[in-house]
């Protein structure tokens, strides 16, 4: 009986931890992509002739950040399930 209560409490704490981890991953990705966009706009304003190169680099960096974020969210979901 006591072991069952301990397991239920541990499961609840794990669910809260997974939710907080997913939230932190999303907020971190939003901040990162925002900084990428800001820096790209500044770079384009300084060198308009390099717009296509800057845009492609920005899209690549944003895709890598989103991929890492999806991986972090998947790990949090798996922590909830398992």
The structural domains of the chain, ordered by start, are: 2-81 (1.20.20.10)
- In the chain, alpha helices (H): 2-46, 51-81
pTM for the predicted model, two decimal places: 0.77
From the list 40, 60, 59, 62, the residue with the least C-alpha distance to 51 is: 40
Tell me the pLDDT tens digit for each residue of 3-42.
555 555 666 777 888 888 889 999 999 999 999 999 999 9
């Amino acid at each position: 009986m006591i072991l069952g209560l301990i397991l239920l409490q541990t499961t609840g704490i794990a669910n809260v931890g997974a939710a907080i981890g997913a939230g932190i991953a999303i907020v971190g990705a939003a901040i990162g992509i925002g900084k990428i966009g800001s820096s790209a706009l500044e770079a384009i304003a300084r060198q308009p002739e390099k717009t296509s190169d800057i845009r492609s680099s920005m899209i690549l960096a944003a895709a890598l950040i989103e991929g890492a974020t999806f991986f972090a969210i998947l790990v949090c979901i798996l922590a909830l399930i398992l």
